[in-house]
Amino acid sequence: MNITTENKKWLDDFNLNHPLVIAGPCSAETEEQVLKIAHELKNSDVSIFRAGIWKPRTRPGGFEGVGAIGLKWLQKAKAETGLLMAIEVANATHVQLALEHDIDVLWIGARTTVNPFAVQEIADALKNTDKIVLVKNPVNPDLALWIGGVERLYNAGIKNLGVIHRGFSTYEKTKYRNIPEWQLAIELQNRFPDLPLICDPSHITGKRDMIQEVSQQALDLNYDGLIIETHIDPDNAWSDAAQQVTPTVLKQIFKDLRIRKETDNADDYNNRLAKYRIDIDEYDTKLLEILGKRMKVADKIGALKKEKNVAVLQNKRWNEILGKMILDGEEKGLSEEFILKIFKAIHQESISHQEKIING
């Protein structure tokens, strides 16, 4: 995929002095609701109005969107406010209806991104379109699947592309609705720096009081924009009530967010940064040396277990280590989430080493 600066041109065309903002309700509920929210957002930093027309639900029986009638409400909102309109599409029929109603921005949801057949169907229906098309990350942390979705659209001649980072599902209990796994979005950004990257703090957090925090994290990581669910009466929204904010709160979030410079050309900054990076490189080298030594000890344990015909996994010992590391980590200013990730990875590598020895 040959993503170039041309792919970021649609973002530059907005001529903004701040990150792109997409906002609007999780679901279009009534014409009155859509129009009222759109009018309250039109004189803010919002450039694109979003609303769910078709809502994929995990289980049947929930509100699954108003359907095609909502597209007429968006047409009216666009005519009255001048905001561009954005919706989620999940199949070729959705695409056709969106094009017929002149929807400006289409996004592919997380549940659709996981299905290459569905993405290809959408790509074929949008072939050579000049519409802006955004691809949300798949439900599970699979970078290749995310990139594959973008590639299918790119190969269909769609050049106005971007991606939305909405977090990833996990069976673990965390403070997030969908854990960010920032490193995956950063890896995508590193591979394709000219592919606009937008953060969806609403779906990452699932809680309106965390929107500000996660939005700031995204901007600190040089994201190009935010997509934030906004409703005139969030507590009584027909879907995802807990993660939506009012237009008034959204405007306050904009005021409180700090836009960082990408870099600083001052000599003092660059000299100090260079020194700190040397320190980081030294510590990274030491970390690898320590991990290498640790795995050699794991190899010895594996050899002993093989000699005595003992199982590799020892859950009691593992839980004792994990509990101790979490407590020690907190004393050193390291979050429990980080400690869990790093030591689970170390533990898995130790198990792999021991399995090779026992089965070798």
CA-closest candidate to residue 25, choices 241, 209, 220, 197: 241
> What pLDDT score does 4 carry?
58
Burial classification of residue 231, based on how many CB atoms lie within 10 Å of its CB (0-12 exposed, 13-18 middle, 19 or more buried): buried
Q: Is pLDDT of 55 > 60? A: yes
> What pLDDT score does 2 carry?
66
Instruction: Name residues whose C-beta falls within 8 Å of residue 88's C-beta, 6 or more positions apart in sequence.
Output: 52, 53, 54, 94, 106, 107, 108, 109
Neighbours of 190 (CB within 10 A): 8
Q: Is pLDDT of 38 > 90? A: yes
> What pLDDT score does 6 carry?
64
pLDDT per position as a tens digit, 316-328: 988 998 899 999 9
The residues with which 105 forms a beta bridge, in sequence order, are 86, 132
Between 6-10, 204-208, 229-233, 345-349, the lowest mean confidence (pLDDT) is in 6-10
- pTM (two decimals): 0.84
Percentage of residues of the chain with pLDDT beyond 90: 84
Write out the two tokens for 150.
């973008």
User: Could you name the CATH architecture of 267-359?
Assistant: Up-down Bundle (1.20)
36 phi and psi angles, rounded to 5 deg:
-65, -45
Confidence grade of residue 127 (pLDDT, cut at 50, 70, 90)? very high
pLDDT per position as a tens digit, 1-36: 666 556 678 999 999 999 999 999 999 999 999 999
Confidence grade of residue 302 (pLDDT, cut at 50, 70, 90)? very high
Q: Provide CATH 1.20.59.10 ranges for the chain.
A: 267-359
Between 79-88, 102-111, 271-280, the lowest mean confidence (pLDDT) is in 271-280
> What pLDDT score does 1 carry?
64
> What pLDDT score does 5 carry?
54
pLDDT per position as a tens digit, 80-98: 999 999 999 999 999 999 9
pLDDT per position as a tens digit, 182-225: 999 999 999 999 999 999 999 999 999 999 999 999 999 999 99
Percentage of residues of the chain with pLDDT beyond 70: 98
> What pLDDT score does 343 carry?
92
CA distance 197 to 182: 12
CA-closest candidate to residue 49, choices 241, 250, 234: 250
327 phi and psi angles, rounded to 5 deg:
-65, -45
CATH of 5-256, one of 3.40.1350.10, 3.20.20.70, 3.20.20.105, 3.40.190.150: 3.20.20.70
Residue 317 to residues 128, 171, 307, 336, Cα–Cα distance (Å): 58, 23, 19, 19
Neighbours of 57 (CB within 10 A): 12
Q: Provide CATH 3.20.20.70 ranges for the chain.
A: 5-256
